[in-house]
Amino acid sequence: MYIPTHFSVGDGSMEAGAELLTALITSQRVGTLSSVIDGRIQATVLPLLIRTEPVLSIVGHLAAANVQSKTIGETDEALISLQGPDAYVSPSFYATKAETEKVVPTWNYSAVHAYGQLVLHYDAAWKLEVVQALTNAHEAHRDNPWSVDDAPEPYIQARLKGIVGVELIVSELQAKEKLSQDKPATDRQGVVSGLGEGSSADRAVGERVADRLNQS
């Protein structure tokens, strides 16, 4: 991923990247698993969880019929990409527009690319643990949360046979937050105000721009 210095997260370290990775998995809930199979890029959108012990890893599961669950070798590198809220930034937001007119549109966003070895898991207990953890994470906000234990055990065991567990052992993180850091403070404040009048995604990006502005 192309990351100009001013869009780098924190000090650009693995630790800083892991913080954004955790935030995006927690808030966005899904990412895209990409791998090269027979010279062709394959990709699947997956619900994901992050683990920090014993090593930093990202876990989920694929349909057993998915080609990505069948042809990945033990030494093959894979990529999981995650993106946070994004927003179009209008030139009309900028104070500079009134001063010089030398402004153009852009797009603000947060993204993480996690590279590493992809390990496939066929053990029913491992798969069940991940399915339960994913379910609990996404049901927690409900008044009457559904649990895997609500379904008959033979049914769940049969469904587990139709999936393959995946675990990306993270070896490299590329983290980027493009939040108007390259603009003057007056333009960035204009972005905060402009996005604050938009959609929920716009407002979320505007809040991140404001956070960065307050830190500078």
pLDDT at 37 over 70: yes
What percent of the chain is modeled with pLDDT above 70?
97
Which is nearest to 85 in space by CA: 211, 215, 171? 211
pLDDT at 75: 61
What percent of the chain is modeled with pLDDT above 90?
76
Domain carrying residue 66: 5-86+105-182
pLDDT at 71: 66
Residues 126-157 have pLDDT tens digits of 999 999 999 999 999 999 999 999 999 999 99
CA gyration radius for the chain?
20
Which is nearest to 29 in space by CA: 96, 73, 83, 76? 83
Per-residue CA distances from 72 to 102, 119, 148, 188 (Å): 49, 8, 29, 44
pLDDT at 109 over 90: yes
Say which amino acid occupies 191: V
pLDDT at 72 over 70: no
pLDDT at 215 over 90: no
Question: What CATH number did the domain enclosing 162 receive?
Answer: 2.30.110.10
Alpha carbons 115 and 157: distance in angstroms, whole number:
31
pLDDT at 102 over 70: yes
Point out the least confidently predicted range of 15-19, 51-55, 56-60, 71-75: 71-75
pLDDT at 90 over 90: yes
95 found inside a domain: no
216 found inside a domain: no
134 found inside a domain: yes
171 found inside a domain: yes
The pLDDT-based confidence of 181 (bands split at 50, 70, 90) is: very high
The pLDDT-based confidence of 216 (bands split at 50, 70, 90) is: low
Greater confidence, 79 or 211? 79
pLDDT at 73 over 90: no
190 found inside a domain: no
Which conformational region is residue 146 in: left (phi greater than 0), alpha (psi within -120 to 50 degrees), or beta?
Answer: beta
187 found inside a domain: no
- Domain count for the chain, please give it: 1
pTM here is: 0.90
215 found inside a domain: no
111 found inside a domain: yes
